[in-house]
Structures are given as C-alpha cells and as structure tokens.
Chains A and B, each alone.
Chain A
C-alpha cells in the first residue's frame, strides 16, 4: 500500500467520522468522488424507524416496573422460573415478570426457536469449552497428582459452602453461582448430603487416556432422587428421577431445575419431541464458561466471551412428560462437555 493510499483512507475515515458526529460538509482532504459516494449512500438510507407502539411496549417491558430485575434477557426469552438464592444486590440474577413474548403466557408450549437461539454457535462453544475443559482437567491433574486422584474440592470455590455456591469472577463480571451444575463433588455433597450409592466408571478410553475420570452417584432429593455424574470431580450431569406417581406442572419443574443451573443461565430455545412427550430446553451460561476457563488457569480479562459464543456453555434440560404435558418420570440436566 502506498503512502497516498493510506492518506486517502485516513481522509475518508476522518470525513465519515465528521459526518456521524454532525458535521455537514466534506473533509477537505477527502477524495471528492468518495465523499459524494458516501453522501449518496446516506441519502439512500431510508430504513424506517420503529413504530411508536413497539417503542412503548419494549420500554414498558424493560422499565415498566420497579420490580423489574437485572436479567432482562429473561424478560424476552425465558419462562417464569423461580430464582435460586440471590442477594438483592445481584441485579443480573434477578428474574423479571416475562412480558408479551413469554411463552408461559401463551399457556402452551410449542416447538419453537426462542429468539436469540444460537445453534450454530454451539460448535464454536464446544471448541472453546473443550479447550477450557482440557486445561481444567490438566490443571486439576497437575495439582492433585494426575490419574486416579479422588474427586476433590475445586480451588476457589470453597469459600462459600452455602446452598448456592458463588465463585470469584473477573472484576465487574457476572459471578458464577450454582447449586448444581459446575459444582465440585464436595460442594454438591455439602448441599445435598452424602450419596446413597457411588460408582466409579473410570476414564473413557482407559486409565492412560486424557479423558476425565467419571464417577456416578445417587443422592436423595425432594420428591425423588438425584442421579449425577462427575467428570474429574466436576458435576456435569444431573438426572432428577421423580418418585413414582409424582407429576409436576412445567412451572413446578422449573422450580426444581432452576437451582441446579448456574445463576445466569438463560433459556435460549425450547423444542418438543416424540409428540410432546419430551421437552428439551437449551440454556447458555456465560459465567460457567468463564468459571471453567478460570479453573483451567486461563487469564481472563473483561466480561465478554469471544465472538460467536456469547451465550456461554450450552446446557440441555430434558423433561419427560405425560400426554397432558405434566412432567413425570425424570428431568435431566447436562452441560455440554462434548464427546
């Protein structure tokens, strides 16, 4: 690139900067033909503004109530699910009364992509997440003596053995808080008590493989049993086995599920399968992605995930339902760890 090219680029840049900042005339140094092209382009921009009804409605949805919480994304996409423990000051974890787009208000669930779903990004998330997990597992192995190390407490999470465990996050960012997925085994058992059964499944691929060590365990749960799996001590799957005869409305099921998800998990999509007998909800948790990266020893700056994975770690929740839509049998929650 010649110096002249660079000079023309700079001049055009300054010219357009001046225009967007309210200047009316052309930058004197700008190529007149290019300045004219910019002028014509702007004149062609006749995109209409939003209609007044939409502006009012959205404003009301966002700000219409003093009770409106910080997790306003839920206002657009998520059904009314109860919130796990939170302090009043943690605005991002508050839930809001869903506005018009709330599926719960429609009274019935349908196969639908919720606005904001990011199915393609799941592949990118997998790449990042697997990388973070590998680092995490390597780091854990390094600290704890490698293969065969017992399920162990996770550094950084032991400070608050409360029901919803919180961990430090980058300054100013959403903290990781969970009472289920993402906990260490020790944290989980501090919450639900000792297991009724434990089974070691070893490492997929054999003892020498890099794969995480998998442990399955069962725990008593309200109206059922938790059947969970740990990967190197990290809780990544919960199967909530309901007692026989227990049926739940979806709202009641959400009330059981929500505490098991990271506090910032956002509902991204819902879909029914097998004639409605299975309902799958896809969530994303950014705080979980950062937490895993933090555990892996990655240096984290800022609060935004790399482009394309802004929904964070994908989490699937699957509800088994009767014909009438009531949840019965089991509810499974699994965070996406690939493979």
Chain B
C-alpha cells in the first residue's frame, strides 16, 4: 500500500509524451490567461462546446453535462496558474475526464460505509438517463456495446483529441491507445455493418 502510494505520487501525473502536439494558439491564450484571468474568455469560448458535448456523451443528460462542464472550467481556471503542459486541450480534457468519472462514481449505488447514510441522491444513473434521452441515442447505443476502456477512447476521439492527448488523459501509453482504438473500431465496423473491403485500392 505504501509502496503503491509512493510509486504513484513519485511518478506524478502523466508527463506529456514526446511528440505531444503543442498548439501555439492555445499556448498564447494560456499565457495571456495566466497573466490576466479575464483573458481566459477565448479559451472558454473555444472549448466550452467540445467539453460540454463530451460530458453529455458520457453522462447522458443536459443537466448533468452542464454541472460537469461548470466544474471543468472552474477547476481549469483555478489550476491555470500552475498549468505547465504543452497541450491545453489534453490538460483540459484530463480535468473533464476526472469530473465525469467522479460524477459517474457518485451515482453508483455503492459507497464507502462512512458515506452510506447520505447516499440519497435520487438522480438517475447515467445509464438510465441515456435510456430516456432522445439526443445521441443511436451513438450511445453503439458505444455501450464496447468495453469501457475502448469506449473512453472513442468518446475522446469524438471530442476531437489526438491519440497522444488521449493517452495523456487516460494515463495510458500511446501504444495501448492504438491497440484499444483499433479493437474498438473493428468492433464498431461490425456493429455498423460495414463490409470488409480489400485494402490497397486507395493507396
């Protein structure tokens, strides 16, 4: 336990892997926002939509997505002075991923004993919400058929992240992301009834 703790803390967060794409536009905006928080507005404007959509895809209801999006930007703004990454988008979606994961965990009907007495949240689970939501139902119906780790990657891809950024968000190697992504798409190909095609014609 102690060793695990030491190892995890010692390792720190995922360092942006070599080759992580720097986004000069974001970089300029981040530098400005670090000097003056009002200058965060362009970053907010740029990312509020993809972050919200990502939260909606994962949480299944507008209300939950709005709550999560609010948290993501509030946390990002609070942490911005300490921001040192090379990919603002990857950093921001790491926060989003954690917020959404927290929200989903919070909704599960399992809790530590210490918190058992205040598990009274009547909100529907993400799965329930997904079943009743109209928007994006077809996509969710597809994604729900993927294993969770593959689904996470596809959701982040749909949010517009590169493979390197996804690896950073999920704390996985890029190789692992490639493999899981490949399996996910292969499975989706079957679900979407895309016929195998001979390769090479487009080369």
Contact = CB atoms under 8 A, between A and B. Distances in A.
A44 B142 contact: yes
A203 interface: no
Interface in B131-161: 135-136, 138-139, 142, 154, 157-158, 160-161
B44 to A, nearest CB: 6
Interface in B159-199: 160-163, 171, 177-179, 181-182, 185-186, 188-189, 192, 194-199
A35 B3 CA distance: 44
Main secondary structure, interface of B, reads: helix
A111 B120 CA distance: 8
A270 B195 CA distance: 53
A168 to B, nearest CB: 14
Given A66-B38, A72-B78, A46 B135 contact: yes
B145 to A, nearest CB: 12
Interface of A: 1, 5, 8-10, 12-13, 16-17, 20-21, 26, 28-29, 31-34, 36-38, 40-42, 44-51, 54-55, 58-59, 61-63, 66, 68, 70-77, 91-92, 101, 111, 113, 115-123, 126-132, 134-135, 172-174, 269, 271, 273, 280, 290, 293, 296, 298-308, 310-311
Contact of A9 (B136, B139, B182): B182
Interface in B97-136: 98-99, 101-103, 105-106, 108, 110-112, 114-115, 117-121, 135-136
Contact of B8 (A61, A66, A306): A306
Nearest to A36: B194
A293 B195 contact: no
Contact of A300 (B12, B108, B197): B12
A140 to B, nearest CB: 14
B139 A301 contact: no
A56 to B, nearest CB: 10
Q: Considering the complex of A and B, which 3 residue pairs feature the smallest CB-CB distances, nearest first? A: A131-B5, A301-B12, A302-B12
Contacts of A293: 5-6, 9
A44 B138 contact: yes
Nearest to A66: B38
Contacts of B98: 307, 310
